[in-house]
């Protein structure tokens, strides 16, 4: 499929941005991915208590911000219990390195604007949708308001993925033109069910084999093309070459430069 094959090798996605080198899911991490030459960035979308979509991986703010210092009495610091204004005050960079002090948890709107300005492409994950009823339609609304859905080529610059099959199915039903991916490793016999609403299957790298990748490639996905596989999280050269040789179409990595160099070699 597009971007795959012997000559070009797998597409390399910068997971949470270039998150080995800059704080994950910040504008700094996507800017760095761009500077390193990577078009595709992955992120995680959740929702604040007052209904703003924000880009953060964990369902609490503790690991990747200074929330414990700024709001010591708000344990366990759930994203969904804080307002957008409160989250905007947090430092999302210092935990990673002092040079990133002052980085913020981006709103999805700000994040989309930056990805677009950088002329990058987005693998958008709807994270823990069971915590955020209606987040699928809301994400599509924000994408629309940011101008992403008018784009003639939206299908080449956006993939929406989730570990929740229900969420992926809903996104497909709401916007049948979008490319979707299911995060997981369905058994071969179950793949045809996923092919009804997904174009791609994105498994953890330890769970796959060349045979399984062939089984996915043998199916036609939601848009009638052979289904593709993007695997995660591969940060070392040996594993990158191993999954490349299994025939994956994409590798989602914190260290895109390392993986690109590995898959370009022999
Ligand atoms: O893009 C795949 C990967 O991000 C899924 O796992 O926990 O990093 O969101 P996680
Ligand atoms: Ca993710």
H or E element, residue 230: strand 228-232
Instruction: Summarize pLDDT for 193-237 with one digit per residue, the tens.
Output: 999 999 999 999 999 999 999 999 999 999 999 999 999 999 999
- Distance, in Å, from the CA atom of 197 to the CA atom of 220, rounded to the nearest integer, reads 11
Work out which ligand 1 atom sits closest to the CA atom of 42: 1
Instruction: Classify strands 121-126 and 158-162 as parallel, antiparallel or unpaired.
Output: parallel
Gap between the Cα atoms of 82 and 24, Å rounded: 20
Q: Which of 195, 241, 189 is nearest to 9 (CA)?
A: 241
CB 33 within 8 A of CB 14: yes
pTM of the model: 0.96
CA 256 / ligand 1 centre spacing (Å): 15
Q: Confirm if 11 and 4 have CB atoms less than 8 A apart.
A: yes
pLDDT digits (tens, 9 = 90+) for 105-128: 999 999 999 999 999 999 999 999
What is the DSSP code (8-state) at residue 226?
B
Measured from the CB, is residue 232 less than 6 Å from ligand 1?
Answer: yes
pLDDT of residue 4: 47
Q: Which ligand is nearest to the CA of 40?
A: 1
63: closest CA among 24, 17, 118? 24
Residue 245 CB-density burial (10 A; 0-12 exposed, 13-18 middle, 19+ buried): exposed
> Ligand 1 center to residue 193 CA distance, Å?
22
11-14 and 53-55 strand pairing:
unpaired
Is residue 16 reached through a cis peptide bond, with omega within 30 degrees of 0 on the bond before it? no
Q: How far is the CA of 54 from the centre of ligand 2 (A)?
A: 13
* 226 CA from centroid of ligand 1 (Å): 23
What residues does the ion ligand 2 have nearby, CB within 5 Å? Answer: 44, 125
Q: Give the pLDDT of the chain (266 residues) as one tens digit per residue.
A: 344 445 679 999 999 999 999 999 999 999 999 999 999 999 999 999 999 999 999 999 999 999 999 999 999 999 999 999 999 999 999 999 999 999 999 999 999 999 999 999 999 999 999 999 999 999 999 999 999 998 778 989 999 999 999 999 999 999 999 999 999 999 999 999 999 999 999 999 999 999 999 999 999 999 999 999 999 999 999 999 999 999 999 999 999 999 999 999 86
Q: Cβ(61) to ligand 1 under 6 A?
A: no
* Closest by CA position to 29, among listed 80, 89, 103: 103
Burial readout 27-50 (b: 16 or more C-beta within 10 A, e: otherwise): bbbbbbbbeeebbbbbbbbbbbee
Determine if ligand 1 sits within 6 Å of the CB of residue 125.
Answer: yes
The CATH fold assigned to 11-59+108-264 is TIM Barrel (3.20.20)
Domain boundaries, the chain: 11-59+108-264
- Which burial class, exposed, middle or buried, applies to 60 when counting CB atoms under 10 A from its CB (0-12, 13-18, 19+)? middle
Residue nearest atom 2 of ligand 1, based on CA coordinates:
232
Q: Please report, for residues 14, 125, 184, 185, 250, the alpha-carbon distance to residue 240 in angstroms, rounded to integers and kept in the order given.
A: 14, 22, 18, 18, 10
Helices and strands (DSSP H and E) totals, the chain? 11, 9
pLDDT of the residue at 152: 79
Output the residue whose Cα is nearest ligand 1's atom 3. 232
Q: Find out whether 259 and 234 touch, Cβ atoms under 8 Å.
A: yes
Residue 90 alpha carbon to ligand 1 centre in Å: 23
Q: Helix, strand or coil for residue 109?
A: helix
Task: Please state the ipTM of this predicted complex.
Answer: 0.99
| Of 173, 179, 137, residue with least CA distance to 154 | 179
CA atoms within 13 A on the CB side of 217: 16
To test the pocket of ligand 1, the residue of 16, 25, 125, 162 to mutate (highest count of ligand atoms within 8 Å of its CB) is: 125
Cβ(230) to ligand 1 under 6 A?
no
91 lines ligand 1 (CB under 6 A): no
Active site residues: 15, 57
């Amino acid at each position: 499929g597009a971007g795959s094959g012997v000559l070009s090798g797998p597409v390399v996605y910068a997971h949470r941005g270039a998150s080995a080198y800059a704080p994950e899911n910040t504008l700094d991490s996507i800017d760095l991915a761009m500077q390193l030459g990577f078009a595709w960035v992955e992120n995680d979308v959740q929702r604040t208590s007052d209904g703003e979509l924000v880009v953060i991986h964990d369902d609490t703010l503790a690991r990747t911000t200074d929330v414990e210092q700024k709001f010591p009495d708000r344990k366990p610091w759930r994203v969904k219990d804080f307002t957008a204004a409160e989250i905007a005050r947090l430092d999302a960079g210092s935990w990673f390195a002092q040079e990133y002090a002052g980085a913020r948890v981006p709103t999805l709107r700000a994040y989309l604007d930056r990805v677009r300005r950088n002329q990058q492409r987005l693998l958008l994950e709807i994270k823990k949708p069971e915590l955020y009823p209606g987040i699928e339609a809301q994400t599509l609304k924000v994408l629309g308001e940011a101008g992403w859905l008018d784009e003639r080529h939206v299908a080449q610059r956006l993939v929406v993925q989730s570990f929740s099959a229900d969420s992926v199915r809903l996104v497909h039903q709401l916007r049948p033109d979008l490319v979707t991916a299911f995060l997981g490793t369905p058994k071969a016999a179950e793949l045809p069910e996923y092919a009804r609403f997904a174009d791609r299957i994105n498994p953890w790298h330890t769970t796959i084999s060349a045979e399984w990748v062939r089984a996915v490639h043998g199916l036609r996905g939601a848009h009638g093309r052979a289904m593709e596989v993007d695997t995660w999280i591969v940060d070392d050269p040996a594993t990158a070459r191993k999954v490349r040789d299994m025939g994956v179409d994409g590798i989602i990595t914190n260290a895109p430069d390392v993986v690109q160099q590995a898959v370009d070699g022999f």
